Amino acid sequence: MRKLLVVFIFLLATGIARAGAYDDIIAAASNGESATVVDLLKRGMDVNTADRNGSTLLMIAARTGNYSLLETLLANRANVNRRNQYGDTALMLAALSGRLDVVQALLEKKATLDPSGWTPLHYAVFGGNKEVVALLIAKGAKLDARAPNGQTALMIAAKLGSPELVQQLVDADADMDLADYDGLTALRLAHQAGNAEIVDYLRKVGAVE
């Protein structure tokens, strides 16, 4: 009986220690404390440790732009294509946050460029970063990939009122005449949102109503 009690206490202490280490590594990654993260990894924490939303250490580093930590995680074979509970990947979060160097590093590690549903290009347009958009296009991102609502990157840019991104996507040969699942084209979305400059531009380059 005494032996069982000792084993139980040991297991309980181990569980508490692991829970503490889990909280510590997530907090350290979120706060940019790379040295603490590295130390905990050396002590045996999983490189793919994720927070309660399923966002891994790599996703946190990508979202916050912690490039040095990102490099360490990639060197330790972190899963570049894992998704959190919202369906986000590290590449998508980096694209949304406009982290050009992080996007480049993830692409070099074969991060998926065109996952199903929302894509890094959609997120880059939401983030409004033309350099990230240009990089994704140069790497072969599908210009007309549809988000769950049927909208393409061009439709999103037109709706959000981003003339530079609209022109960038049109110049890359995005299809101007596609409609989303509600039957709305990029031109109609721009008109609906009151983005007159984009409406004029799309009409000028031959987009259909």
Q: Domains in the chain and their CATH numbers?
A: 1-109 (1.25.40.20)
Tokens 């040295």: give the residue: 35
**Is the whole model's pTM more than 0.75, yes or no?**
yes
pLDDT band of residue 208 (cuts 50, 70, 90) is confident
Which of 193, 189, 195 has its CA nearest to residue 209? Answer: 189
50 three-state secondary structure: strand
Mean pLDDT of the chain: 91
Residues sharing a CB contact under 8 Å with residue 52, sequence separation 6 or more, in sequence order: none
User: Does the structure show a pLDDT above 60 at 1?
Assistant: no
pLDDT of residue 21: 85
Number of helical (H) and strand (E) elements in the chain, helices listed first: 12, 0
User: Does the structure show a pLDDT above 90 at 197?
Assistant: yes
**What is the percent of the chain where pLDDT is above 90?**
86
Helix axes 90-97, 57-64, angle to 10 degrees: 10
Which of 99, 83, 185 has its CA nearest to residue 144? Answer: 185
pLDDT band of residue 55 (cuts 50, 70, 90) is very high
Please tell me the total number of residues recorded for the chain in this structure: 209
